[in-house]
Amino acid sequence: MTYLLGIDVSTTATKALVLDARGAVVGVASSRYDLATPKPLWAEQDPELWWQATCASVRQVLADTAIDPTAVAAIGLTGQMHGLVLCDEAGDVLRPAILWNDQRAAKQCAAMRQHLGLAELVRITGNDAFPGFTAPKLLWVRQHEPDVYSRIRQVLLPKDYVRYRLTGDYATDRAGAGGTLMLDLVQRDWSTQLLDAFDIPHQWLPPTHEGTQITGHISALAAEHTGLATGTPVVGGGGDQAAQGVGVGAVETGVVALTLGTSGVVFAASDRPLVEPAGRLHAFPHAVPETWHVMGVMLSAAGSLRWYRDVVAPGVEFETLMAEADTVEPGAEGLIFQPYLSGERTPHADPEARGAFVGLTLKHSRAHLTRAVLEGVACGLRDNLTMMADVGLTDVSEVRISGGGARSPVWRQIVADLLGVDLVTIQATEGAALGAGLLAGVGANVWPSVADACREAVQLGSVTRPDAERSDRYQTMYDKFRAHYPALKRLYR
């Protein structure tokens, strides 16, 4: 038998997943770790945690599955995006990694916009500057830690540090590199113009590769630590969202991936870059060769429901709340929820946006409140899909939904009715790690293309179809939802 290994270096754990040549998952192991918050709004991790967790998870999954390490045809990597790992001449880490959710670099983002201009920044990278991206963090280190900055010889993303420890080679994938704010979106390689504009040495950045290209091979030292076979190829892989897109089969135009988790993500593949002029959508290369993706992110999706349950109905099961909400007519009798409990990323890019219930009356019960939360989150997801249509994503044939919120048939129906499209559930729960394994399989010639790998491996579940009458009723409610944020924006300040 031929096997493939996907490694996912996430913010909370590193997961190792083994799948066979039919794309079936045969084993998963995970090793957890913590992050540090040395100051408010800071988030850091010691890269050694990722390496130790990688070794532990790989050894565990090899033991659990009892497969011969020489039967592993290739390895794919995925993981948290945007993190900043700084190495010196010897490849040693200079300081703790600054993670994707770290917010210290807001001033550096403003400086990037002012120096280059927002329009030019978006034209090159497809994105506005956000503190979570890699380049602003690097500029922060230059300003605040000059001694560290002077010793930098290599800048890596988290999963690419693990790649270096596995192979001894510096490399990155183009999907992950797109999230650094240093990549030319169209050319799919580092932007000479941007690096020169901010005086970032080109030699600090690793070579870029497509997600299915081989970037190196397992070294003898890594084989000793992990139990893998020396010489096993390691492919480019992708950032976690791109790999998740592969894991659910969103690799061709027309298929959209919707993640209804703590945050909400709407992700779509495209055969060309799709860029929102103000950078409110994220535009990156896909992990699929010569393909791009566009992505909208709302910060509090299922997180809104959890907050609501914990505050309004502590101890009540989610299923009970869902059943109550299902007794209320669409539109919750005029009650509308604004799901901006953590500010908002897409479509408003406003950290000062706030949540709100609008239209409360004495008639509204807990069931109405619950339904308003479910509908408000669904409206936020529709905002993302609408913005994608505005930049050219007009042919949506199917939305594949995953995440904890997708387990509720009531919520799925609300989302389907508001979006006006079929929702298809995904049976696999290990999307990003599975996607990394599928990319490895293409790199090892197990499948001729990523689309072929997905057709064989991605298992679809139930279909939720929109109800035409409810969709029509929701149009009026959605128009009111969209009017509320502009009306309340001044008060949020």
User: What residues act catalytically?
Assistant: 240
CA dihedral of 230, 236, 237, 242, whole degrees rounded to 10: 170
SS3 of residue 210 by DSSP = coil
CB 18 within 8 A of CB 26: yes
Count CB-CB contacts under 10 A for residue 310. 11
What phi and psi, each to the nearest 5 degrees, are found at residue 377?
Answer: -65, -45
d(CA 5, CA 418): 38
d(CA 187, CA 156): 20
**Peptide bond preceding 40: is omega within 30 degrees of 0, i.e. cis?**
no
d(CA 15, CA 434): 10
d(CA 403, CA 483): 28
From residue 426, give the alpha-carbon distance in Å to each of 6, 23, 94, 251, 415.
Answer: 18, 14, 41, 15, 16
d(CA 188, CA 292): 9
Name the amino acid, one letter, at 181.
L
From residue 323, give the alpha-carbon distance in Å to each of 211, 312, 320.
Answer: 43, 16, 5
